[in-house]
Amino acid sequence: MEPEDKEEARFIARLASRDERAFNELVVLYQERVFRILLRMLGRRDEAEDMAQEVFVQVFKAVGTFRGDSKLSTWIYRIAVNLCKNRVKYLKRRRTEAQDEYEALAERSPMTSGSGVTSGDIHRPDQMVEGMQLERVVQLCIVELEPDFREVLILRDVEDLSYEELCEVTGLPDGTVKSRLHRARAMLKQAVERKMGEKAK
């Protein structure tokens, strides 16, 4: 066993014995990367912050079941990605419900209820894009990707995970990961070009 592996095994043993100081070290060590992944996946800082805390709570609960088949970091990213995907599904459902409620309300509302709203209050998409920086456009396009594509793109191209780690985190075979990444890049490129084109117009 490599000295590095030995050290990690010792650290995992401390975590498994619910050593609070070991958990403090773990959070400090991984919080930045976990938060960044979650922020890219969710696109909202408050959600990402809450979810990052949740990831470490899950790690605390499940660390006893960690068998050491993969690196600790990979296992943590896997928890983060799975929690995140569940959250995205939940938020999407909630948004749809909210949208339904909003539409129902709009149908019930009389026409006069819109008085006082001027055309200047309504933001057109092109106007919204105009003020954005490239980073914001890219971020927006990433969030608009389907979660399965977003996940591989963020982990590989933003967080620089290896293909091996990517397979472990997603639980997908190598070929699928590569194909998904290829498609995700193409979709992102197309979306960014479209948005930047709108901006240029």
Partner 1 sequence: MSETPGDGVAAPPTPETTSDGEELAADLRSALKAGAAAEAPPDVLAGFQKKLRERSGGKFYEDGWSTSRHPPINTYLITSLMMLAILGVIYALLAPLSGEPVPVENTPQPVQIISPAP
Q: Which residues bind partner 1 (CB under 8 A)?
A: 18, 20, 23-24, 27-28, 31-32, 34-36, 39-40, 45, 49-50, 52-54, 56-57, 60, 133-136, 138-139, 146, 148-149, 153, 156-158, 163, 170-173, 175-176, 178-183, 185, 188-189
Q: How far apart are CA 52 and CA 58, in angstroms?
A: 10
Q: Which is nearer to partner 1, 40 or 87 (CB)?
A: 40
Minimum distance from CB of 75 to partner 1 (Å)? Answer: 15
Instruction: Quote the CA–CA distance of 137 and 153 in Å, as a whole number.
Output: 16
Q: Which amino acid does the sequence have at 104?
A: A
Q: What gap in Å lies between CA 195 and CA 201, rounded to an integer?
A: 10
Structure tokens at 175: 């070929």
Closest CA relative to residue 181, chosen from 160, 159, 154: 154
Q: Nearer Cβ to partner 1, position 18 or 95? A: 18
**Closer CB to partner 1, residue 53 or residue 96?**
53
What sign does the dihedral 54-60-63-64 (CA atoms) show?
negative
CB of 157 to partner 1, least distance (A): 4
Q: Do 56 and 156 touch, CB atoms closer than 8 A?
A: no
Pair of tokens at residue 188: 């992102």
Q: Cβ closer to partner 1: 113 or 190?
A: 190
Q: Which tokens go with 134?
A: 């490239």
Taking the complex as a whole, the smallest distance from the CB of residue 147 to partner 1 amounts, in Å, to 9
- Closest approach, Cβ 179 to partner 1, in A, equals 4
Which C-beta is closer to partner 1: that of 106 or that of 158?
Answer: 158
CB of 199 to partner 1, least distance (A): 14
